[in-house]
């Protein structure tokens, strides 16, 4: 199994939208390599005959009646947002140079 290196961490940090300094990448890569090394044996424990468990207590689909329940008002929904305008979340530019 591939070890995790500094390049991987830089790529993962980009995917996770966390800016990291060069020094942070060095440190994180070292720490994660130790952690990944200690947990990689997990991939060799169970064979193909063992089913995966995603949820600890078996449940089938849970439905409710399709009626409007409690909802937040527009003001309540926007109250914690860093910026808003015209009753909507206001976001910075999505695309470069526009």
**Where on the chain is the footprint of another protein (CB under 8 A)?**
1, 4, 8-9, 12-20, 28, 31-32, 34-36, 38-46, 50-57, 59, 62, 64, 72, 76-77, 79-83, 89, 91-96
Rank residues 42 and 68 by Cβ distance to another protein and give the closer one: 42
CA–CA distance, 28 with 9 (Å, rounded to integer): 7
Tokens (6 digits) for 13? 């940090």
- Shortest Cβ distance from residue 39 to another protein (Å)? 4
82 or 87: CB nearest another protein:
82
18 vs 26 by CB, closer to another protein = 18
Cα–Cα distance, 8 to 58 (Å, whole number)? 36
In angstroms, give the least distance from the CB of 66 to another protein.
13
DSSP 66-87: SS------HHHHHTT-S-EETT
In whole angstroms, the minimum distance from the beta carbon of 27 to another protein comes to 8
Answer yes or no: are the C-beta atoms of 13 and 29 closer than 8 Å: no
Minimal distance in Å, beta carbon 96 to another protein?
A: 6
Helix (H) or strand (E) holding 6: helix 6-15
């Amino acid at each position: 199994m591939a070890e995790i290196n500094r390049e991987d961490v830089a790529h993962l940090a980009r995917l996770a939208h966390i800016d990291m300094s060069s020094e942070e990448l060095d440190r994180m890569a070292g720490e994660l390599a130790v952690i990944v090394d200690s947990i990689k044996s997990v991939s060799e424990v169970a064979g193909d005959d063992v089913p995966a468990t995603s949820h600890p207590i078996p449940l089938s689909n849970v439905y409710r009646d399709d009626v409007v329940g409690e909802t937040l008002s527009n003001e309540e929904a926007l109250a914690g947002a860093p910026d808003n305008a015209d009753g909507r979340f206001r976001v910075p530019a999505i695309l470069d140079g526009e």
